[in-house]
């Protein structure tokens, strides 16, 4: 089990960007769900921070409206008790001007006790991270606190280094929680359990038995509600260098010494260090038709809204095994899947007849998640005929299951002081080196129709199997299920409109 530091019986949460879209869609609903599950400390306050002059009562009404729109509904939880703990500190916040935040925190600590754990959550654009961090140091709010940074943690190699230097000047690494909510998904967490807890998988988790891995996160969503932010990042920075790289590391890491936070992070970062820089020849960039007509997008923008790439990991376990990564906006369907494709039998009486895609282990990350295994069977009947079918384990169906949405899980871990599912700067720094060739010499942007599967060249990249989700010759297979990521579960960070 992961090691946790002592959780406090009292905590003061400061939510920077409390009226922004990320807070509305993800963070505030997660706090209310923590209350529903009884996971908040015995005593707590949630202080929203922003530039506006907003009363405590107005902020409470804002949170009520947010929950009414995005859920869970206030009437479905302990709203009366929850709402008593909401406060707002206006006037902005930076090193030169703390606004009213110091006074509101002082009032909260007077009520809860000076020993209350202080937790700062930066639900703001990356461009504001440094000013808020410097403000925490300048105004005495850093010592003993925990500070949560949303992805992307920097928008370029130079910006990443400047941000990291600013954080290290003010905070000890143990205080920092860099959140990537894909690591908090139930199915992602089960990757290690399935592998290390079941020898039937753990003993074949290598290049001798696995010939490819697909990490596929297509989205049907548009970018209209965060066009300015997206036109500065694109799919490569918004998804590949963050979520998909982290998922690749979860699949590929060497067995850690234990499941404790430091050992898990050491193993994760060691495997990221073995990621081979991606050649432009192994990547396809696309842009959906009409992207430049979006308000907030430059008419001549060449930003990628689609990326497919082939990643190699230079370790003895994974050498020459392709990790195929794909994500994009305005695609035919949504999905969040990791598919581990096993080799077909090399010898034996059925080696020639077994389908090439006979055994595929899939982690479906959507919602509560599921683990699916495609296996070769005899088709029931008079003839000896091979077929494939799928065995599915919905994680919500596990006995006594109480699945938590990723933000709920990760914020609970922050309260407990458990950093197992959070990223570290040494690993993040190498991810910039991995995409360096794509930044220096990006592939030519290829247009694709809205509602399609992206540029046709991406199909060739996934040869010989093609993409298990969406390619015609795979559409009838059981891995091509009916699920689709919705706006609530998709990657809607929306940092461009968050207020600091």
Residue 468 has, within 13 A of its CA and on its CB side, a CA count of 30
Per-residue pLDDT for 489 more than 50?
A: no
> In this structure, is residue 377 part of a structural domain?
yes
392 bridge partner residues: 372
- Cα distances (angstroms) measured from residue 251 to each of 3, 69, 187, 215: 21, 36, 12, 10
In order, the DSSP letters of 263-276 are: HHHHHHHHHHTTBP
pLDDT-based confidence at 277, cuts 50/70/90? very high
Residues 373 and 360 in one domain: yes
pLDDT for 7: 53
pLDDT for 224: 76
Residues 304 and 188 in one domain: yes
> In this structure, is residue 418 part of a structural domain?
no
pLDDT for 382: 96
- Output the known binding site: 17-24, 51, 151, 181, 185, 219, 238, 329
> In this structure, is residue 45 part of a structural domain?
yes
pTM of the model: 0.91
Residues 64 and 151 in one domain: yes
Angle in degrees, 0-180, between the axes of helices 56-70 and 28-36, rounded to the nearest 10: 80
State the CATH number of the domain containing residue 65: 3.40.50.720
- Whether residue 23 contacts residue 63, with contact meaning beta carbons closer than 8 Å, is answered with no
Give the closest residue to 191 by CA, choosing from 315, 325, 337, 323: 337
Read off the pLDDT of each residue in 353-359 and give the average, rounded to a whole number.
Answer: 83
Question: Which parts of 337-481 are beta strand (E)?
Answer: 337-342, 360-364, 370-378, 386-394, 446-448
Q: What percentage of the chain exceeds 70 in pLDDT?
A: 92
pLDDT-based confidence at 21, cuts 50/70/90? confident
> In this structure, is residue 311 part of a structural domain?
yes
pLDDT for 474: 54
Residues 66 and 195 in one domain: no
Range of the domain at 469: 183-404+425-497
Per-residue pLDDT for 155 more than 90?
A: no
- Whether residue 22 contacts residue 123, with contact meaning beta carbons closer than 8 Å, is answered with yes
Residues 140 and 239 in one domain: no
Per-residue pLDDT for 395 more than 50?
A: yes
Read off the pLDDT of each residue in 281-293 and give the average, rounded to a whole number.
Answer: 97
**Could you read off the pLDDT of 213-254 as tens digits, one per residue?**
999 999 999 997 788 888 888 999 999 999 999 999 999 999
Per-residue pLDDT for 148 more than 70?
A: yes
Helix, coil or strand: residue 260: coil
Per-residue pLDDT for 485 more than 80?
A: no
> Which of 162, 179, 196 finishes a domain?
179
Tell me which of 100-109, 153-162, 277-286, 393-402 is least confident. 153-162
48, with CB counted inside 10 A (0-12, 13-18, 19+), is: buried
Question: What mean pLDDT value characterizes the chain?
Answer: 91
Per-residue pLDDT for 477 more than 50?
A: no
pLDDT for 227: 86
Residues 144 and 239 in one domain: no
Give the closest residue to 135 by CA, choosing from 178, 88, 89, 180: 89
Tokens coding 129: 């991270």
The active-site residue out of 243, 346, 352, 473 is 243
Per-residue pLDDT for 475 more than 60?
A: no
Residues 201 and 337 in one domain: yes
Sign of CA dihedral 282, 321, 242, 465: positive
Residues 150 and 223 in one domain: no
pLDDT for 471: 65
Residues 207 and 74 in one domain: no
Residues 170 and 29 in one domain: yes
pLDDT for 482: 40
Residues 129 and 270 in one domain: no
Per-residue pLDDT for 80 more than 70?
A: yes
pLDDT for 6: 47
Question: Which residue has better confidence, 350 or 356?
Answer: 350
State the CATH number of the domain containing residue 297: 3.30.360.10
> In this structure, is residue 412 part of a structural domain?
no
The H or E element spanning position 214 is strand 210-218
The reply to whether 243 belongs to the active site is yes
pLDDT for 251: 98
The alpha carbon of residue 216 and the mean position of all alpha carbons in its chain are separated, in whole angstroms, by: 13
> Which of 179, 203, 229 finishes a domain?
179
Cα–Cα distance measured from residue 398 to residue 328, given in angstroms and rounded to the nearest whole number: 32
How many other CB atoms are there within 10 angstroms of residue 463's CB atom?
7
Read off the pLDDT of each residue in 121-139 and give the average, rounded to a whole number.
Answer: 94
Residues 305 and 236 in one domain: yes
pLDDT for 357: 85
Split into its structural domains, the chain has a count of: 2
Per-residue pLDDT for 490 more than 60?
A: no
In order, the DSSP letters of 71-87 are: SS-GGGTTHHHHHTTEE
pLDDT-based confidence at 8, cuts 50/70/90? low
Cα–Cα distance measured from residue 216 to residue 213, given in angstroms and rounded to the nearest whole number: 10
> In this structure, is residue 328 part of a structural domain?
yes
- Whether residue 190 contacts residue 299, with contact meaning beta carbons closer than 8 Å, is answered with no
> Which of 179, 199, 216 finishes a domain?
179
Per-residue pLDDT for 5 more than 90?
A: no
Cα–Cα distance measured from residue 302 to residue 292, given in angstroms and rounded to the nearest whole number: 9
> In this structure, is residue 454 part of a structural domain?
yes
End-to-end CA distance of the chain: 36
**Could you read off the pLDDT of 322-350 as tens digits, one per residue?**
999 999 999 999 999 999 999 988 888 98
- Whether residue 457 contacts residue 280, with contact meaning beta carbons closer than 8 Å, is answered with no
> In this structure, is residue 435 part of a structural domain?
yes
pLDDT for 1: 44
- Whether residue 285 contacts residue 447, with contact meaning beta carbons closer than 8 Å, is answered with no
Per-residue pLDDT for 484 more than 80?
A: no
Strand 283-288, strand 370-378: pairing = unpaired
**Could you read off the pLDDT of 249-262 as tens digits, one per residue?**
999 999 999 999 99
């Amino acid at each position: 089990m992961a090691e946790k530091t002592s959780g406090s019986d009292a905590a003061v949460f400061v939510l920077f960007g409390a009226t922004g879209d990320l807070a509305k869609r993800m963070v505030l609903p997660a706090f209310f769900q923590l209350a529903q599950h009884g996971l908040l400390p015995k005593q707590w306050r949630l202080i929203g921070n922003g530039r506006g002059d907003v009363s405590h009562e107005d902020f409470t009404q804002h949170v009520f409206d947010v929950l009414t729109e995005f859920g869970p509904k206030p009437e479905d939880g302990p709203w009366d008790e929850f709402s008593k703990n909401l406060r707002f500190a206006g006037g902005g916040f930076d090193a030169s001007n703390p606004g009213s935040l110091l006074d509101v925190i002082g009032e909260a600590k007077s009520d809860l006790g000076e020993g209350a754990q202080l937790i700062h959550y930066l639900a703001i654009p990356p461009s504001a991270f440094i000013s808020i961090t410097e403000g925490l140091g300048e105004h005495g709010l850093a010592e003993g606190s925990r500070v949560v940074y949303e992805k992307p943690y920097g928008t370029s190699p130079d910006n990443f280094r400047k941000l990291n230097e600013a954080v290290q000047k003010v905070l000890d690494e143990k205080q920092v929680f860099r959140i990537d909510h894909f690591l908090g998904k139930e199915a992602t967490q089960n990757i290690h359990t399935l592998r290390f807890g079941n020898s039937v998988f753990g003993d074949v988790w290598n290049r001798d038995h696995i010939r490819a891995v697909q990490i596929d996160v297509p989205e049907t969503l548009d970018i209209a509600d965060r066009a300015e932010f997206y036109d500065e990042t694109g799919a490569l920075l918004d998804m590949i260098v963050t979520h998909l790289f982290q998922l690749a590391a979860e699949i590929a890491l060497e067995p850690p010494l234990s499941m404790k936070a430091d050992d898990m992070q050491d193993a994760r970062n060691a495997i990221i260090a073995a990621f081979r820089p991606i050649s432009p020849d192994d990547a396809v960039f696309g842009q959906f038709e009409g992207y430049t007509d979006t308000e907030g997008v430059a008419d001549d923008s060449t930003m990628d809204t689609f990326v497919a790439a082939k990643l190699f990991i230079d370790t003895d376990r994974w050498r020459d095994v392709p990790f195929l990564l794909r994500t994009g906006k305005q695609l035919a369907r949504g999905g969040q899947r990791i598919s581990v494709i096993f080799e077909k039998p090399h010898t034996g009486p059925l080696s020639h007849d077994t389908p090439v895609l006979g055994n595929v282990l899939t982690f479906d990350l959507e919602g509560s998640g599921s683990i699916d295994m495609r296996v070769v069977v005899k088709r029931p009947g008079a003839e000896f005929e091979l077929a494939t079918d799928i065995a599915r384990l919905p994680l919500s169906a596990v006995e006594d299951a109480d699945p938590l949405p990723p933000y709920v899980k990760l914020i609970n871990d922050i309260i407990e002081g458990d950093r197992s599912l959070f990223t570290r700067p040494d690993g993040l720094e190498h991810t910039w080196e991995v995409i360096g060739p794509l930044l220096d010499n990006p592939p030519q942007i290829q247009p694709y129709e809205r509602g399609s599967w992206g540029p046709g060249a991406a199909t060739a990249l996934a040869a010989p199997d093609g993409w298990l989700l969406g390619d015609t010759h795979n559409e009838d297979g059981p891995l091509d299920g009916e699920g689709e990521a919705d706006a609530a579960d998709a990657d809607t960070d929306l940092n461009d409109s968050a207020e600091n």
